[in-house]
Chain A
Amino acid sequence: MKHLKGITFISLFVFLLLFLCIVFVSPANAADSENCLMCHKYRFLGRIDEQGRKRNYNVDEYIYNETVHRNVPCRDCHTSIQNLPHDPITEEVNCGNQCHIKPPFAKENFSHKAIIETYNKSVHGSKSTDSEELKAAKPYCKYCHLNPRYTKVDEERVASSTLQRCFNCHEEKGVTQAFKHITHRLRHKTSRSRQEIVELCSKNCHEDADKMRRFGVSNESIESVETYKRSIHGKAVSLGSEMTADCVSCHATSKIHDIYKKDEAASTVNKNNLKRTCQQCHLDVNAKFVQIDVHSGITSNEKPFLHFLEIQLGFVLYGSIFGLLGLALIETIGRKKDGIKWQIKDGTSWRGKSKRGF
């Protein structure tokens, strides 16, 4: 009966653990000193706007408390709100605002201004020379950072045992916040998976060849999604690889937003920078290695020999398969004529009477 005692003990222990989990999972203190949630906590708070679209103004406290913005008070971003209850909001949120959060050791309040500057310089930033259509088509902060219902930080990736060691010196609150906000992104280039990055760049945008053609991008760019998906990088990523290059692995530095056309000197895929870019994964990069075509499309204009070869290889493939199958078919017919059947007798097929007449 000794082992039963052990089981009882383990059961009690597990139960206690579960109980503790429930007790300690209570909502953390939201950055809601102005009590916006008094109204916005209601799940069906919303209206149908002038365009007839349904707008939902509910903020889920539990989800918001898990997001990167959990310490930012509402009005730091929604600056147009001056009195409460507020008028309908017509102004978009400006991600370049300073909020009332002071980063550690900083004198100024936090703002996304630096990354926005980087972004505005990149190919995706609005330029004065752009046409209206192009301006409209270019992505803005929320185009990529779509935050559907305030995307949760992927807690799976936060190693709690690692974090425990930080507590030896650091205060729990600050370091946990830094860890969740920053460190989980250091493990990958972005907090998004590689598959999500590829989808983000291609869907409705770079894979839309007509749209790209209207904006006068190069042929190589028009085909870029297609050629990427045909490359070993694209194939591995689409199958769920965690080790293979996605779009921003090559097209941006760790700033992520500094994507340029390849003729510009700042571009990571510029001839002079390729070596450093490839070196992130291919350690022994040399001058000849960077000549290799990454977005390789085999077309009759660009690569006539390979194009010709590809067609010939197709003929050889089908020729040999059907040739050999023809041979096997002739042989099968001949053997049937010999009286050999597919019926099994004594472990092999059975030889009957020949139909050849000799």
Chain B
Amino acid sequence: MATSSETVVTSANDSTADSDYMHYVEGVGHIPRDIYKHVLSDPLGDLPRYSIHIVIQHLLMFITFITLASTGLSLHFGDLFWAPLILAPLGGPDVARVIHRISAGIMIFVAVYHVFTLIIGTYDKLSKKKFDIIRTQIPTLKDWNDLKHDIRYFLGKEKYRPKMGKFMYKQKLHYLAIIWGTFVLVVAGTTLLFPEAMAEFWPNPRFAQDLARLMHADEAIMAASVVVFWHWSNVHLVPGRFPLQWTFLTGRITREHQIEEHFLEYIEDLKNNPEEREYLKSVLKEKGYKTEGGEA
């Protein structure tokens, strides 16, 4: 079988035959960057993405976030018409604030659980020498370049989407925002919930309390707006993801999505997934690209 890149491209897209477009994988061949337009996808997900830990964490986060936002924001915007409509079925402000605190407790548990799994997982990977920074949430210069690349692509000035890892720039941005937001909300919330004890803790209790009141509300409004207006529309409403991306429940991602937005992760996965290799080869063959390697 041929292995050199010059002999691979046989499709009509000769003009696109640059090194960035074709990605070589041993045992499969040269994979064109936009092959995702031709693959089959099950909306419930084809390829593993999140472990059961992450799915549980997200689900708990989702439930507690909704609860915290609905009780907290309706208390904050108590003078608006919709606030009593939300609070009344919950039992009024006196019950709602207990619900708010319990939810906050669960959310803090999720955060601790997340950090715990993160440390264990990272330690495990490091000890097996499988740690790869491209698969983490750590922001790199590449993410900034990917963002610029992606905007150019969507505006029609770039031919392909960037090759991104397990977490793309949007997810990293969101993840950092969640770390910052959770930190601010927990610290400010603790200051509000235990004013007596926290007054002893902060050097200037008057300032700290005012700051906590300001930051807790502001950060909550920000988090709620970002989740409602951006995260949900971004994940579930944009064309191609509509009506629902099932990943947060199934922990699996569709093949099309994985190749499109997490290409490097897909390539990584191909190495250990012979079935997927065979499937991809059949797609490549069908589209007239050359493949390599015998039947599995």
Seen from chain A, the residues whose Cβ lies within 8 Å of a Cβ on chain B are 229, 232, 235-236, 238-244, 282-286, 288-289, 291-293, 296, 298, 303, 306, 309-310, 313, 316-317, 320-321, 324-325, 327-328, 330-338, 340-342, 344, 346-349, 351, 354, 356, 358
Contacts and interface: CB of A to CB of B under 8 A. Distances in A.
Nearest to A313: B218
Given A285-B196, A313-B214, 5 more contacts: A241-B92, A242-B94, A289-B205, A348-B43, A349-B241
The prevalent SS among residues of B at the interface is helix
30 contacts: A232-B213, A235-B93, A241-B94, A243-B94, A284-B197, A286-B200, A289-B195, A289-B205, A291-B199, A291-B206, A292-B205, A292-B206, A298-B210, A306-B207, A313-B214, A316-B222, A317-B218, A320-B222, A321-B222, A321-B230, A324-B230, A325-B229, A334-B154, A342-B242, A347-B44, A348-B242, A349-B239, A349-B240, A351-B256, A356-B156
Contacts of B83: 239
Interface stretch (B72-80, B135-143, B265-273, B284-292): B72-80
B227 to A, nearest CB: 11
Contacts of A331: 150, 154, 234, 238
A197 B46 CA distance: 62
B250 to A, nearest CB: 12
Nearest to B151: A330
Contact of B210 (A235, A243, A293, A356): A293
Contacts of B206: 291-293
Nearest to B41: A348
Contact of A330 (B97, B154, B230): B154
B92 A240 contact: yes
Nearest to A355: B156
A118 B230 CA distance: 59
Nearest to A347: B43
Nearest to A312: B218
B195 A292 contact: yes
A328 B229 CA distance: 10
